[in-house]
Amino acid sequence: MKRPRRLSWLGAAAVVALGAVMALGLEPFGLWPLTLVALAGVIAIAVRVQAGWVGWLAGAGYFGLGLCWIVDPFLVDAAAYGWMAPFALVFMACGLALFWGLGFWLGAKLPNRAMGLVAGLSLAEFARGYVLTGFPWALVSHIWVETPLAQVDALVGPFGLALLTTLIAAMACRFKLRGLLGGAVLLGLGWAYGLYALSQPDPVAPAVTLRLVQPNAAQQAKWDPVQAQAIFDRLMAATSAPPGPLGAVDLVIWPETALPYLVEDQPDLPAQITAAAQGAAVAVGLQRIAPSAEGTRGWNSLKVYGPAGQELAAYDKHHLVPFGEYIPMGDLAYEWFGLRAFAAQTGAAYTAGPGARVLDLGAKLGKVLPLICYEAVFAQDLRVPERADWILQITNDAWFGTVSGPFQHAAQARLRAIEQGLPLVRVANTGLTEVIDARGRITARLPFGTSGFLDASLPGGLEAPPYAKWGEIPALVLLAGCFVLALRRPKFAKA
């Protein structure tokens, strides 16, 4: 095998540009053909030159554009933190690109270089979903959410679909007729399966009416004591509004950290809230605090209250956002060195809940799997022993801006519905509040960035699809197959 050529400065710029073009397949653009063409170009270049650098540069371009929303949290208080925004984007893009760089470097070591790159990039995307608590945002497979091909996610999961996406691009990367035809056939088979799945009869829906409340509170105002009453009044007005054409509401849902007060300080709040709901249960996103041996701790929580204000169920978010909701090693820094600034025990960060769990809300509302914000990014977090009847995500997407972040976040929630074969109800403080059926289709939605509420029927669930049963096993089998094929030198093309 010839030693790969060094990548020129012009070639490096072209690879970064191709990576950025790949990101145009993500929401809100959805230009998936550009992703396939650009990925094919990246693989074609990596076959000929130093693959590790190609992977890293392409990843930097892809994540640089795909995750540009990462600057928005720093602009909430721009005077104090705005200077950090460009550094956060550069470090995030270049850091995640290391996964691609290592994957391409590993794949290029195998005899069949093109197939090795497919295996290496797929392994990198898999690792990105798990290493250091994982960050599987902007997977290559997310480009399919608006297409029938998204239904393949129910078979092989997001990482398996990412592998198939990369394989389609790689088969055509040298633009030979056989490769183009093979990629087209694979794409067509996936598309045909998706059309078949979408043509099947809808499952029987339970007779449940939900009220989704979107207060649209600006992030700067959420914890302002002066504006707290106005936000609470907005929530209560939506909760107490008369029923619409669907009739009596069975469950009112408030978004993540919607309640601007601590229930511990005002224990009569649950009764006030449920009185406004006129007999319906209310699911409330809130912060809760409790004393512990190390000090007062706080949790990002969901609580469901019955008609008399009694607590029916509770869930504490367990997959926290690093550096946003907790500081890695912050508790140890407090225990070992007495540093209080980053410790959850001192109220400087949230404490993680015990893990994913299904809440039983009774015979009519059924069993629900709750997710709080960022947890909907992780397909593996939804695999719990007890099967739910539906999924509930409460979120505050005000952190993600208005350009791409909220739309990417909502798209990932739609994939979770497909993977589990369950309807998913998504309630946002601001962003995309919507009802998603078990095949990932949106059945009801509130306008983006508005204050109001939506009464909607809960769709029915399907039988557990393969991914819900077997998890990552199908994807790992496909990945192993790619590595085996990569060990054989191709006969029809020179590497």
- Helix-strand-coil percent breakdown of the chain, rounded to 5? 50, 15, 35
- Residues ≥6 apart with Cβ < 8 Å to 334: 294, 340, 342, 343, 345, 346
Q: Which residue has the higher pLDDT, 354 or 332?
A: 354
Q: What's the pLDDT score for residue 329?
A: 46
C-alpha neighbours within 13 Å on the C-beta side of residue 71: 16
Q: What's the pLDDT score for residue 27?
A: 97
Instruction: Inform me whether the pLDDT recorded for 340 exceeds 60.
Output: no
Q: How confident is the model at residue 343 (pLDDT cuts 50, 70, 90)?
A: very low
Instruction: Inform me whether the pLDDT recorded for 141 exceeds 60.
Output: yes
Encode pLDDT of 247-279 as tens digits.
999 999 999 999 989 999 999 999 999 999 999
Percent of the chain with pLDDT over 90: 80
Instruction: Inform me whether the pLDDT recorded for 90 exceeds 50.
Output: yes
Length of the chain: 495
Mean pLDDT of the residues in the chain: 91
Residue 190: count other Cβ atoms within 10 Å of its Cβ.
22
Kind of pairing between the strands at 390-395 and 367-372: parallel
The tokens for 452 are 């109001």
Cis upstream peptide for 28 (omega within 30°): yes
Q: How confident is the model at residue 333 (pLDDT cuts 50, 70, 90)?
A: very low
Q: What's the pLDDT score for residue 347?
A: 46
Domain ranges of the chain: 9-200+471-486, 209-318+353-461
Residue range 475-490: average pLDDT?
A: 93
Please say whether the beta carbons of 167 and 118 come within 8 A.
Answer: yes
Strand ranges (E), 219-339: 251-253, 281-292, 295-305, 311-316
pTM reported for the whole predicted model? 0.93
Stretch (H or E) spanning 11: helix 9-22
DSSP-derived letter for residue 379 is G
Return the active site residues.
256, 317, 373
Percent of the chain with pLDDT over 70: 93
Q: How confident is the model at residue 336 (pLDDT cuts 50, 70, 90)?
A: very low
Q: How confident is the model at residue 491 (pLDDT cuts 50, 70, 90)?
A: low
Instruction: Inform me whether the pLDDT recorded for 495 exceeds 70.
Output: no
Helix (H, G, I), strand (E, B), or coil: what is residue 435? Answer: strand
CA 479, CA 482: separation in Å to the nearest integer?
5
Q: What's the pLDDT score for residue 476?
A: 98
Question: Where does residue 333 rank: exposed (0-12), middle (13-18), buried (19+ CB within 10 A)?
Answer: middle
Q: What's the pLDDT score for residue 174?
A: 64
Q: What's the pLDDT score for residue 335?
A: 44
Instruction: Inform me whether the pLDDT recorded for 338 exceeds 80.
Output: no
Instruction: Inform me whether the pLDDT recorded for 437 exceeds 80.
Output: yes
Q: What's the pLDDT score for residue 62?
A: 98
The tokens for 249 are 């509401």
Fold of 209-318+353-461: Nitrilase/N-carbamoyl-D-aminoacid amidohydrolase (3.60.110)
Encode pLDDT of 142-183 as tens digits.
999 999 999 999 999 999 999 999 999 999 876 578 888 999
Helix (H, G, I), strand (E, B), or coil: what is residue 372? Answer: strand
Chain centroid to CA 173: 29
H-type alpha helices, 324-404: 330-337
Q: How confident is the model at residue 490 (pLDDT cuts 50, 70, 90)?
A: low
Instruction: Inform me whether the pLDDT recorded for 375 exceeds 50.
Output: yes
